[in-house]
Amino acid sequence: MLQTGVHSDEIFIVDDDGLVRNSLSIVFTLAGYQVMTFTEGTSLVLTARVRIPACILLDMCMPAPSGLDTLKQLDAANYPAPIFIVSGRGDIPSAVEAIKNGAFDFIEKQMDARSIV
């Protein structure tokens, strides 16, 4: 059962790259957020169905399920928290596909930490 309240101080980060996961976790923790990380989409979906974070950062390119598949499983357009797709391949077709499937925004990974917080 999905909790009705949003955990405004909690962020879910989903990325199969440990360096990216850890870096983002450090940045958001230093900014005052509680962070929960996931290595793949299936665990995120199970958790996100019972807990609502302030937002989700979801890597587009992961082994099955992909970020796009995970976005669809969460029914992102109707999910109570914004879901940001993060990708090292910031191409327009991928961004359009993510937005059409309910992503709040599309963020390229090649950026400094200050631009994401």
Q: Which domains can be identified in the chain, with CATH numbers?
A: 7-95 (3.40.50.2300)
- Span of 18-22, 26-30, 36-40, 89-93 with lowest mean pLDDT: 89-93
Question: 3 falls in which pLDDT band (50, 70, 90)?
Answer: very low
The set of long-range contacts for 94-101, using a CB threshold of 8 Å and a minimum separation of 24, is 94/60, 97/68, 98/60, 98/67, 98/68, 98/71, 101/68, 101/71, 101/72, 101/76, 101/77
Q: For the chain, what is the total number of helices (H) and then of strands (E)?
A: 4, 5
Pairwise pLDDT comparison (41 vs 112), residue with the higher score: 41
CA angle, residues 22, 74, 29, in degrees to nearest 5: 25
Cα distance between residue 48 and residue 9, in whole Å: 15
